[in-house]
Copies of this chain bind each other. A is one copy, B any other.
């Protein structure tokens, strides 16, 4: 899966100024099986980001390749781009639900989004979203137990998987934590079993 936008950096001045750097056709030529895009709801560039996603959707339809769209609400934006941070959830879970819905309506085949912080509201997000939803990992949690429990909880609510970066690569042993996550996502293991896999 190739992320085809990405003009914003954490040193830059606008985390939402994230435009295409590659085309869907180019991704296909490089052998990608899917493309990933990024949007934010409730910010001044919202419309531009959404138009970008719509354009990618149309190219994906034309070329027969799926798109995963990460769509996050404004109030999570800052927290999301912190390297390590205490896990925080949006004050209003409705915005997660809304963001997922917008991504799906713009044509995303898979939505990558936040967890709401509790199973009850997150189940609603999943139900409300017409396409598969994968939970993003967000800032690095330094506690594998906490992180694996969070993965288990998200999967129990109906998430179709997780999309984890910093919570893998900031570990001294990225393979171990990856194995542990796979135990939950692919083998339906409990958080405790996964933690054992991590520690073994």
- Contact in complex: B42, A12 (CB < 8 Å): yes
Does A58 interact with chain B (Cβ within 8 Å)? yes
How far is the CB of A79 from the nearest CB of chain B, in Å?
18
Residues on the B chain within 8 Å of A44, using CB = 13
Residues on the B chain within 8 Å of A58, using CB = 22-23, 26
CA distance A165 to B49 in the complex (A): 26
CA distance A23 to B51 in the complex (A): 11
- Contact in complex: B102, A29 (CB < 8 Å): no
- Contact in complex: A51, B21 (CB < 8 Å): yes
A54 nearest in chain B by CB position: B21
CA distance A145 to B76 in the complex (A): 43
A101 nearest in chain B by CB position: B9
How far is the CB of A39 from the nearest CB of chain B, in Å?
10
A58 nearest in chain B by CB position: B26
- Contact in complex: A21, B61 (CB < 8 Å): no
Does A146 interact with chain B (Cβ within 8 Å)? no
- Contact in complex: A21, B98 (CB < 8 Å): no
- Contact in complex: B42, A8 (CB < 8 Å): no
Also in contact, A12 and B47, with CB within 8 A (given A7-B54, A21-B106, A53-B21): yes
Does A67 interact with chain B (Cβ within 8 Å)? no
Q: A11-B42, A12-B47, A21-B51 are in contact. List 15 more A-B contacts (CB 8 A).
A: A6-B50, A7-B50, A7-B51, A9-B46, A9-B50, A11-B98, A12-B42, A12-B46, A13-B46, A17-B46, A21-B54, A21-B57, A22-B57, A22-B107, A29-B62
